[in-house]
A and B are shown apart, each in its own frame.
Chain A
Amino acid sequence: MDKNLLKSYRVIGQISNVISKVDSFDEAIKASLKIMLDNSAADYAVIWYVGSNDKEHLKPYYWISPVDLSKRSYKVGTGPIGKAYKKKSSEVILDFQKKPVKSVASDFEGIEIASVVCAPFEFGVVEFIKTTESGPFTEDEAEICQMLTLLTEISINENIELPDDSANKKVILSVSDVKREYQNGDIITKVLKGVNFDVFEGEFLCLLGESGCGKSTVLNIIGGMDTATSGTIKYLDTDLSTASKNDLTVYRRDNIGFIFQSYNLMPNLNIKQNLDLIAELVKEPRDSEEVLKLVHMDEKARNYPSELSGGQQQRVSIARALVKNPKVILADEPTAALDYATSIEVLTALEDVVASGTTLVMVTHNEEITRMANRVIRLRDGKVYEVTINHHPVKATELVW
């Protein structure tokens, strides 16, 4: 049997196997893309899809690449992606350097693309990218990409209505090629090696990754607690990368609420006082008692942190973050120190926070929690590894680990 054919069957089998184990389409797609990427020569892959509300444009659904394509789109028929979808036939650019496409180049700014293969499927296009580092696709490799797409389509038989996307949402935070290095004597440690992503207003964004991948560092930088070695961070139109210490303080004071892993409440102030301490910083704070009510801690207003459980303290911590009425709440592993039940309590509270329109960026290593996020950015080795748009976020109470 043809090796390639054998390989193809294997891929089908893998995809089928993965799909059989997942519960949602999203998971199926993600899993499939991973398999495709693993089995192709591509470095990066993106699934473009046409949403139910907008049939004229292809939006990124899921991608495995160091760039954030969340706000990108292609009109059907334009660019290789649009063309592939329209024509329902693949667009292959083997030598991208010779025939660059501006839109694609722009999508992958900072990356030297060697080859692009855009393979259509029923409700979108899978884009395969190969960088100059690894060299261009061969024709066979290009073909494999197309086959894999087809096989995936075969495997996934559901006809799911894809939800609306976030491409029209306002970008509240923008991280561009942010690098962070630490020098300890002669040793330079590169924690972030060029991170790019945006945060949209009102979304729940999870930063996921294993220990040491730089997710807390990213959170610290966007929170104005740390400064990048290079790159740009913008909050709305304000460039934070050149901001002074005072400017960053103002930024944090007026816009950011923090939730820490170890709560970090003031031990010598009662709950209400902990909130008031922060509320007094801003011109229009929320009423602390009201906020405590939100997190179901109003009855404990006079208690001191040492009199509360971990979960209760974390809820107070959330309330403290909220009392400032911030635009963005940054949460660094808020449930890491909590047990399951308490974690659910806390996540529920956070859920309400998001529902109220506050943007939440949470760092976690718990993948289960990402299910309730709108988007998940996975970091690996100091870079964005993949970005997942969670079209069907689940409720906190549905999470199980």
Chain B
Amino acid sequence: MKKTQIIELFNNIRSGLVSFVAIVIFVLLGVALFLGIGWSGKALDKTVDKEYRDFAMHDLEVIYPYGFSDKDVEKIAAIDGVDYVKGLYFYFQFFDNHGVLNQAKIITITDEIDKLNLKEGKLPTKAGEAALEKKYADDNGFKIGDVIEFKHDADEDTYKVSDLLEGDLDALQNPTKDEDGMQTLTVDKVKITALVESSVYASTYPITYGSAMDNAAPLNCLLFVPEETFDPDSFDGYINLLISSKDLLKYDNASDEYKDAANALKERVMAVTDKMAADKNEKILGAGDKLVDKLNERLADAEAQIEEGKAQIADAKAEIEANKNLLYQKEQELKDGQKKIADGEKELAQAKKDLKTAEDAFALMKEIYDKFESIYDVGKDVADTVYSVVEKAYNSGLLSDLKNLINKYLPKGSTVVNLYNEFYQNFASGYYKEHKYEMIPILSRLHDLLSGYYNDALAKLNDARAQIAAGEAEIAAGKKEVEEGRRAIDDGWNKINYAENTLLPQYEAELQAGIDEYENGKVKLGELKTASGNIIAYDAAVMARDYNGALVVCDSVKDVFDNMRYTMAALFIIVGLLVCYSAVSRMVYEKSVLIGTKKALGLFDREVTLSELSFTLLAAVTGSILGVLLGRFVLETVFLEVISDQFVFENQEFYFSLKDTLIIVAVELGTIIVTTLFACNKVLSKSAVKLLQGAEPPKAKERFFERTALWKRLPLLTKTIVNNCLNDKRRCFGTIVGVAGCTSLIVCSVTLYDGINNSIKRQFDNITTFDTIVYIDDSVADSAEEITSALDESKIEYSKIFYQPGSMHLPNDRQIIGEIMVPLDDSFYKYIHMVDDNGVEKKIKKDAWVCKSYAYYFKAKPGDNVEFVDGVGTVHNFKMENTAEYYLTRTATFASKEAFEKAYGNEAKTNAIIFNKGDVSIVKLTELLKDKPGFIAIQDYYYDGATEFEVYSLVTLVVVVVYLILSIVMAFLVLLNLFSMFVSEKKKELIVLMINGFYEKDAKKYIYLDTIVLTIIGMIAGIALGSFVGFKTMQTFVTEATYFILTPDPIAMVAGVVVTAVLIVITTLIALKRVSSFKLTDINSEK
């Protein structure tokens, strides 16, 4: 360019500064967005690469639950390309975090590979010490020196199979419990000595840590410990191997070369580990069969013993019975004997009594006899003497006494009694007084009788005495016998009781124990058979880096950024292009006379064009340079700042690409060149003479509707507006396109913003309407009932479900963390609403519903196979039945019970309970439920899901917010430029109106009223365009595991209209302010 042309260029810039700056900014925004967004993703790649190099990230990871021995490790180390192999352990433990149970993944610290980034303190060196991940520590108030105490897990199983392999049935049946109550660790608590970060677990989402191998509860944090913290007896070898290769160091982590080389290495390693796993699996399966046989034998022996035992016990019982019977008999005899003795005693007693009686009687008799003898002996031959004696006896009462005695003790009706009575009576009557002689025979008879009685009595007495003595002797002998018998019987009973109560129960108990053992053995046999039959032949899962949860998130973020940069920048570039064209067209149009003059003076068209092109190109170049700077130093910084919140990378790398810069600058410059040439061409196609006449006013003509009665009735202002719109097509088009562009930018931005925000709201308001999950151990009997009873008491409604964490294996060979939920009854649908693509709520029939992100991303359809990978790398297949609306940042699969059981081979039993806790805190719920059998943990599902979503979507939201701000800036500039141009174009008309007496405000109304009409049309077009672009852009945000609401957003439309309207009002007011500065005298200079 010649010197004057350069001067002219800068003068043009000065005079057309608004247009120049407008073009600069349009270009700047397009370039900045394209580069800023795109480079942020690439910067993330660079950061990851550096992080992995600095901390020696493994290239391959192998997980094999049955473990690798040191020999295995050596073999793997010998594989071509493998330079370093490190075996380590990891397992999962629960601990209390301020009243809530959290689950930690405990991992061996390694030195040469997967190095930790020490942030505070000193790395642990012995068992009982641990390094805690820093973010968790900061978020939960843990610090160096704190102690974490684990829940004892001695009763829990590990994957150890050496007992199985050794056929140690006893060990299998009676696992040793550690004294400290821990199954896998040598300690039950650890002291935090360091806070660390790990590049392996660089994502701040705990869900990327994977899932526990033996329960469904989520992992909350990472603990890194020295190897001696793990009890090697609980493992059959290293369940985790880390492999690195120096060959791969020469490639960048994100490069295809790295992926190819890593996959090749993976193939080689898999060839070895697969064989190892296959061999071991075969052994295990074989061992399982052997153990089954062994157990069968034992059971058979046991069964025989049991039978014998039973028989013996039966015999013993029979003997006992017999002895009992005998004893009963003896008892009876004893009783009889005792009875006899008792009788005998009674008799003796009676005899004694009789004796006494007899003695008494004898005594009496003797008395009687003696008395009688006294009366008899004295005066035998003398009746008077007899009589007097008798009389004396009578008078002394002796006769009466004798009478009483004789009547009492001698048999009634007996001769003696009758005789005596007669005698007495006769005496008493005085008969004998008269008949004294009669007394003598009577007395003699009586004497005889009484002597008889006396002798009898004496004989009886003697007999009785003899009998008594004999009886006493007998009784004494009998008693002795009874005693002996008693003792014998008691002995017998003791023995029987002992036998019955002690020995027999003991034997029976032993028998029962034997039976129980037998039954257990049968159960174990059943289990062993089942387990043996179902022994999971685990593959050694060999995973390259792209299986790493954190890297998957990185890739996801990067993909979103890569997609966003095209869709988001495109709209800016298009709008900028259109506005540039308008601005350049106007500038050239206004310079019509000047251009005509130049042509008339002899300049070629190309020389004239060069002048205009210099203006726009300089603006474009300036805008490009500023755009590169803005993109690189502002946008990239802002986006990376937000992205970095999702990760714990040590250093943040930035990215710059000359190639990208040149591409976008070329696009912008190309665009500007095309628009300038196009605009110039329109003017330059006219002759110099024509151009010198000045800018042609718009050509108007009468239209058909102007003859209608309706038209005639319309106010002039309305007619003016209609004519302005119809006759000045260039302006109309420019205004509509400009407003449409601005509205579309804002509608697009708000659509994106709302789409993201509304997604999580919809998730928890309409899809998963529960906020809490309780995880339980389904192997503990009645665990579900215990928990649900407690919930019932607290009046909390719930649903029992089956929950399986894991990862979804994707068709692009990546893996995304996810979950499977299985309904066990219809209450499931109260909390999880299965909404299909048509918005209809349905229930699962027999297969599985997959989340929309997956289905959308991979265009999956019903009937397709979907794969889920569990914590040990085993793949499980489901058949897809439908797609489910789902917005959390993970994949979700909802399977029928049958489908799950078919895929996993395990029964889907209640292992989780979902409900809404309302105002009850997790701490309180933990307190309520922690002691219930089978309770594992509680998760605040809403908080975790919402937080994850928030962190992930924050990046996208920040981009969208930046986009919205830039859209508003762009819209403001576009509209300002548009309306300033319009006011300039209408300057002459405005001045004429004011000269003719229009007030300034009325003249302005003449201008902006048609702008309102064009604005409304532009807004409608903008809403449609913005919604469409927003929809398309939102589609680019969708990754395999993230999905957002893709439906048109009325709020975005309203926001677009409102913001655009506000901007239009502001820019119109600013533009119309110029009217006040119009000099009416300028009419003379206006052409």
Contacts and interface: CB of A to CB of B under 8 A. Distances in A.
Interface of A: 216-217, 220, 223, 225-226, 245-246, 249-250, 252-254, 256-258, 260-262, 264, 266-270, 273, 276-278, 280-282, 302-307, 320, 324, 332
A278 B1003 CA distance: 12
B1083 A306 contact: no
Given A249-B994, A252-B997, A277-B720, A264 B988 contact: yes
Contact of B719 (A245, A256, A269): A269
Contacts of A305: 697, 700
B779 interface: no
Nearest to A251: B997
Contacts of A256: 997
A302 B702 CA distance: 7
B504 to A, nearest CB: 121
Classify the secondary structure of B's interface with A.
helix
Given A216-B1084, A264-B1083, A304-B702, A249 B998 contact: yes
Interface stretch (B480-488, B683-691, B721-729): B721-729
Interface of B: 697-702, 706, 716, 719-720, 723-724, 727-728, 988-989, 992-1000, 1079-1081, 1083-1084, 1087
Contacts of B1083: 225, 260, 264
A264 B1087 CA distance: 9
Given A281-B997, A306-B697, A260 B716 contact: no
Residue among B723, B724, B995, B1081 with max Cβ neighbours from chain A (10 Å): B995
Contacts of A307: 701
Given A268-B723, A268-B727, A273 B994 contact: no
A258 B997 CA distance: 10
A225 B1080 contact: yes
Given A277-B716, A304-B702, A246 B999 contact: yes
Contacts of B728: 268
B1087 A253 contact: no
B747 to A, nearest CB: 31
B1084 A306 contact: no
Contacts of B700: 267-270, 304-306
Contacts of B720: 266, 268-269, 273, 277
Nearest to A254: B997
Given A268-B720, A268-B723, A268-B724, A278 B996 contact: yes
Nearest 5 Cβ contacts at the A-B interface? A253-B997, A225-B1080, A304-B700, A268-B723, A267-B697
A168 B668 CA distance: 74
A324 B1081 contact: no
Given A249-B994, A252-B995, A278-B997, A220 B719 contact: no
A306 B1079 CA distance: 26
Contact of B723 (A258, A269, A281, A302): A269
A276 B716 contact: yes
A281 B1080 contact: no
A249 B728 CA distance: 28
Contacts of B1080: 220, 225-226
Given A249-B998, A253-B997, A261 B1084 contact: yes
Contacts of A306: 697-701
A252 B1083 CA distance: 15
Nearest to A330: B995
A69 B309 CA distance: 157
30 contacts: A216-B1081, A223-B995, A226-B1079, A246-B999, A249-B994, A249-B1000, A252-B996, A252-B997, A253-B996, A253-B998, A256-B997, A260-B1084, A262-B1087, A264-B988, A264-B1083, A266-B720, A266-B989, A267-B697, A267-B698, A267-B699, A267-B989, A268-B727, A273-B719, A277-B716, A282-B997, A304-B700, A304-B701, A306-B698, A306-B699, A332-B1084
Contacts of B1000: 245, 249
B727 A281 contact: no
Contacts of B697: 267, 305-306
B1081 A273 contact: no
Given A254-B997, A268-B723, 16 more contacts: A217-B1081, A225-B1083, A226-B1079, A245-B1000, A250-B997, A258-B995, A260-B1083, A262-B1087, A267-B727, A267-B989, A270-B702, A278-B996, A302-B702, A304-B699, A304-B700, A305-B700
Given A226-B1080, A306-B699, A264 B992 contact: yes
B702 A281 contact: no
A225 B997 contact: no
Contacts of B701: 304, 306-307
Contacts of B998: 249, 253, 281
Nearest to B1002: A281
Contacts of B988: 264
A316 to B, nearest CB: 13
A284 to B, nearest CB: 14
A258 B996 contact: yes
Contact of B1081 (A225, A253, A282): A225
